[in-house]
Amino acid sequence: MVQSFIFDMDGTLFQTNKILEISLEDAFNQLRSRNEWDKETPIDKYREIMGVPLPKVWEALLPDHSLEVRERTDAYFLKRLVEHIKSGNGALYPNVKEIFRYLTENNCSIYIASNGLTEYLRAIVNYYHLDHWVTETFSIQQIESFNKSDLVKKILEKYGITYGAVVGDRLSDINAAKDNGLIAIGCKFDFAQENELSQADIIIDDLIELKSIVKGTKTRA
């Protein structure tokens, strides 16, 4: 039986799409107010690269802008994300709290490993009281390499985990599982891509399906 579950945050536990577009629009409106952007907000481009660390996001969205502009935009974007979370504009995916409750009742430990920044993750965990079930939340900021596989390795080493699963929607989550000898569970949610999910060991359409995995009835993708 899988006894340790390491969850991604964006696109897996938290419906980032509910605050993503408005926060990105806020950030690019600030750029427009400074005459540093005169095109449409590249929301589609962001959806394509969703799941990568924010510094990489701004390299992709603002390739011709200076590091100073990228960092300023990043800081403002993070500020708006947190404000939208605290205002209740976001939402968890269906059954997050139910599956967390079920996992803890069945002696499973829960961790979060995210490419999101610490302040952003803390806002989500606090607003939805996820720390009631989650042992610890880990941000990519804690890893010098900014590599999710290394972040998951850090969790395994800290808590002595030898058997478990990584639950996420993107290739970085699947690779983090495989690189660390864990089961890769792909979530077919908003930002998921078929070519990436095909590399997962198991694919789920709803988090509640994790109940069957805990029970040992593993449904292969």
In a domain, 38, yes or no: yes
**Kind of pairing between the strands at 4-7 and 183-187:** unpaired
What is the chain's Cα-based Rg?
17
In terms of domains, do 148 and 206 share one? yes
pLDDT of residue 191: 84
Same structural domain, 81 and 121: no
Let me know if residue 47 belongs to a domain. Answer: yes
Shared-domain flag, residues 35 and 101: no
pLDDT for residue 220: 39
Is residue 179 located within the same domain as residue 101? yes
211 vs 46: CA distance, rounded Å: 32
Separation between Cα atoms, residue 165 and residue 204, nearest integer Å:
13
Q: How many domains does the chain have?
A: 2
Share in percent of the chain as helix, strand, coil (round to 5): 50, 15, 35
81 and 177 together in one domain:
no
> Residue 74 domain-assigned?
yes
Residues in contact with 47: Cβ distance below 8 Å, sequence separation at least 6, in sequence order: 20, 191
Assess if residue 114 is contained within a domain: yes
Length of the chain (residues) = 221
Query: Does one domain contain both 172 and 102?
Result: yes
The answer to whether residue 179 sits within a structural domain is yes
116 belongs to a structural domain: yes
Predicted pLDDT at 48: 80
Which pair of tokens denotes residue 168?
Answer: 């996420």
Do 209 and 133 fall within a single domain?
yes
List the domain range (segments joined by +) for residue 129.
4-15+91-214
Q: What is the DSSP secondary structure assignment for residue 218, as one 8-state letter? A: -
The pLDDT of residue 56? 84
What does the alpha-carbon distance between residue 29 and residue 104 come to, in Å, rounded to a whole number?
43
171 and 63 assigned to the same domain: no
Say how many Å lie between the first and final Cα of the chain, rounded: 18
- The answer to whether residues 76 and 152 belong to one domain is no
Residue 219 within any structural domain of the chain = no
Say whether both 56 and 105 belong to one domain: no
pLDDT at residue 213, as a whole number: 86
Q: Are residues 30 and 8 in the same domain?
A: no
Question: 191-211 as b/e, with b when 16 or more CB fall inside 10 Å?
Answer: bbbeebbeebbbbbeebebbe
**Residues of the chain falling short of pLDDT 70:** 1-2, 51, 217-221
